[in-house]
Amino acid sequence: MKIDPVSLSADLIRCHSVTPADDGAIPLLEDVLQQAGFQCTRISRGGVENLYARWGQAEPVFAFAGHTDVVPTGDVALWTHDPFSGHIDNEGLLWGRGACDMKSGVAAFVAAAIEMVSRTPPDGSVSLLITGDEEGPAKDGTVAILDWMRAEGETADFCIVGEPTSLARLGDTVKIGRRGSMTGTLVIKGQQGHTAYPERAINPLPVLSRVCARLADTPIDLGSTHFQPSTLALSTIDTGNSASNVIPAEGRAVFNVRFNDLQTADSVRVWADQIIADSLVGTGCEAEIDWSVSGESFITEPGPLLNIPITAIEDSLLERPALTTGGGTSDARFIKNVCPVIEVGLVGDTMHQIDERTRTADIAALSELYLSIMRRFFGI
């Protein structure tokens, strides 16, 4: 059985699966995979549709992971082609929301997995983790699949996430880890008063300004072997105060920290708490901070396992990929608790943009690359 990854990509794009909606994307893949002999399990949680598919019962288990949900389209009138048309133009470009991120990546590894088990059945198993909740809260997607796997005794030995990692050419970049991510919401509390009588109030805003400046200007670290320095970026500072003659009772700031493998969420908290405490001395203000942690940093260390996709890329695409840990977060942050995981995918230059699109030749080449990696993994 052979599946055309380009046609499957276009079919997936035609599903209006703006997170957390599915609109038929998961059932489409389930039908295709079942016809190829995969045992499929639908995992529904919190209104999100997910799919776990496995061929074989033996070990080792090679896994792919990806998502069929997409971000909103923005103003449809600004698109050259309807964002859910799956239009393929005369220049070999596939247009639509999800063309880069990451319906085409899912189609590429689904086609590769089917080709693998149909023509060269491995002495092992191939599994696919496909979620509809990566672009959203990410609480009922891959996490739900992994919870189900844990309960059922399912595992994996190596996983590729098909996110669009390439920068200029297919295969030029492989992500071998991701920075941790956490968001802090800081409230500095003073005492409200009249601006004409500032001595009768405790203005929290100068204190908040100094705290934010120190947080933004104080290095967390200098980076590590595979990671850039950890960073803190302010995203908002506000009071909700509409009166120019009122000193507000409190001010609020929100910031995001992306941290490397020298840090943990706990160490970042300690670092920030010390800066805040030092900044409050003698001010009469109080501080409250609430943290939300998206994930810890992780890395798949270079070695024999990582050499498999690297050599496959070198042989297939005649280029040695850069190994990076930059960018945002992905569902790899959950999968790393199960097995070593990397990310290899299409060029992501138009992901989340108006007129998202990708080269059909790249989709086909990516599917062949995935097939080559699997064959090397199983020694075929």
- Cis before residue 149, ω within 30 degrees of 0? no
Active site residue 199: no
In the three-class reduction of DSSP (H, G, I as helix; E, B as strand; rest coil), residue 102 is classed as: coil
Residue 49 appears among annotated catalytic residues: no
First to last CA, the chain: 19
220/42 Cα distance (integer angstroms): 43
The b/e string for 143-153 (b: 16+ C-beta within 10 A; e otherwise) is bbbbebbeeee
Dihedral of the alpha carbons of 163, 51, 13, 31, in degrees to the nearest 10: 130
H, E, C per residue of 103-134 = HHHHHHHHHHHHHHHHHCCCCCEEEEEEECCC
Amino acid at 31: D
Instruction: Calculate the dihedral angle through the C-alpha atoms of 205, 210, 215, 217, rounding to the nearest 10 degrees.
Output: 140
11, 30, 49, 69: which is the annotated catalytic residue?
Answer: 69
Find the catalytic residue in 134, 163, 221, 368. 134
In the 8-state DSSP scheme, what is residue 252?
E
Q: Where are the alpha helices (DSSP H) in the chain?
A: 5-13, 25-35, 103-119, 142-152, 204-217, 265-280, 304-317, 332-335, 360-378
Residue from 187, 192, 231 nearest 207 by CA: 187
Give the active site residues.
69, 134
